[in-house]
Amino acid sequence: MEAIKTSNTTTRCLVLIRVIRRSDFPTLINIYRQCFREPPWFEEFEENEVLADFRQACQWPETIFLVAEISKRVAGAAIAYDLCRKPEVNDLVLPDGRVIYTAEVFVDRRYRGNGLAKILIFSHLALAKIRGFTHLAVRTSVDQPVIQHIFCDLLGAQIVTEQNVVSTKVIDGVARQLPDRRIIMIGKVPELALSQTLRAVWPAAQATISL
Ligand SMILES: CC(C)(COP(=O)(O)OP(=O)(O)OC[C@H]1O[C@@H](n2cnc3c(N)ncnc32)[C@H](O)[C@@H]1OP(=O)(O)O)[C@@H](O)C(=O)NCCC(=O)NCCS
């Protein structure tokens, strides 16, 4: 898939979901760093660290790295790859089948609430399903309700385990080691991912014929 187009009905902005390009890196790195400075993460990443992670993901052949543009501005992205690349999660859930792991989803705060995370997630899961992945997995903070809503309420995944972690959080300019709780959700890649992606990107999917 080179690109898919949909339109946001509230604001009538053109939303484009497409594959990452090398020229997106500076903007995406900036958005990523801003996003993960927010609660519940409070994490501070170096530019080079994020670039190295993005480049690493791009080297794996199965990686799906999608970018959302809204009115031609890069607004967010989602990165997914085979769960076997994440042994610390894979070993906890011991899944059946081929599992697509949603490693990152992030949307510039100026463009939130427009359904971009949802369409980024549905789109990469639809692609994953077409490429033979049967199951999905994602890990997030127990205090990240949007990802829980999309994966559990909309896509039917279930929380299968929790992890207590300690991470370096920078709050009010002070770095501290603080505890956090992560949850891991798994499920089947549902048909809904395909049908919602199709519905979002192809107006004919909603049209009725009257001759
Ligand atoms: C999480 C994030 C990607 C969401 O982006 P977004 O584009 O604003 O999300 P969407 O507009 O697609 O909203 C998705 C759904 O979440 C729902 N939602 C919004 N706030 C919610 C809340 N507090 N609790 C539950 N659901 C919520 C929306 O109503 C929508 O569901 P609906 O269509 O069924 O009504 C964005 O907030 C972000 O980048 N956060 C920082 C980085 C991050 O935490 N990433 C996830 C790491 S695992």
Q: List domains and CATH numbers for the chain.
A: 3-201 (3.40.630.30)
Distance 149 CA to ligand 1 centre (A): 8
**Ligand 1 site, residue 40, Cβ cutoff 6 A:** no
Residue 208 confidence (pLDDT): 67
Nearest Cα to 185, choosing from 211, 148, 210?
148
- Of ligand 1's atoms, which has the minimum distance to the CA of residue 139? 48
3-state secondary structure of 43: coil
- Of ligand 1's atoms, which has the minimum distance to the CA of residue 116? 7
pLDDT in tens, the chain (211 residues): 345 555 555 556 788 999 999 999 999 999 999 999 999 999 999 999 999 999 999 999 999 999 999 989 999 999 999 999 999 999 888 778 899 999 999 999 999 999 999 999 999 999 999 999 999 999 999 999 999 999 999 999 999 999 999 999 999 999 999 999 999 999 999 988 888 888 887 766 666 666 6
Residue 14 confidence (pLDDT): 82
**Ligand 1 site, residue 147, Cβ cutoff 6 A:** yes
Distance 36 CA to ligand 1 centre (A): 14
Residue 1 confidence (pLDDT): 38
**Ligand 1 site, residue 118, Cβ cutoff 6 A:** yes
**Ligand 1 site, residue 83, Cβ cutoff 6 A:** no
Distance 118 CA to ligand 1 centre (A): 8
Distance 147 CA to ligand 1 centre (A): 6
**Ligand 1 site, residue 114, Cβ cutoff 6 A:** yes
Residue 194 confidence (pLDDT): 85
- Of ligand 1's atoms, which has the minimum distance to the CA of residue 41? 44
Residue 180 confidence (pLDDT): 92
Task: Kindly provide the b/e burial profile for residues 106-127, where b requires at least 16 CB atoms within 10 angstroms of the residue's own CB.
Answer: bbbeebeebbbbbbbbbbbbbb
Distance CA 203, CA 189 (A): 23
Residue 155 confidence (pLDDT): 95
Residue 2 confidence (pLDDT): 41
Residue 94 confidence (pLDDT): 77
Distance CA 171, CA 37 (A): 9
Distance 210 CA to ligand 1 centre (A): 37
Residue 43 confidence (pLDDT): 95
Q: Length of the chain, please?
A: 211
Distance 1 CA to ligand 1 centre (A): 24
Q: Which residue has the least CA distance to atom 9 on ligand 1?
A: 117
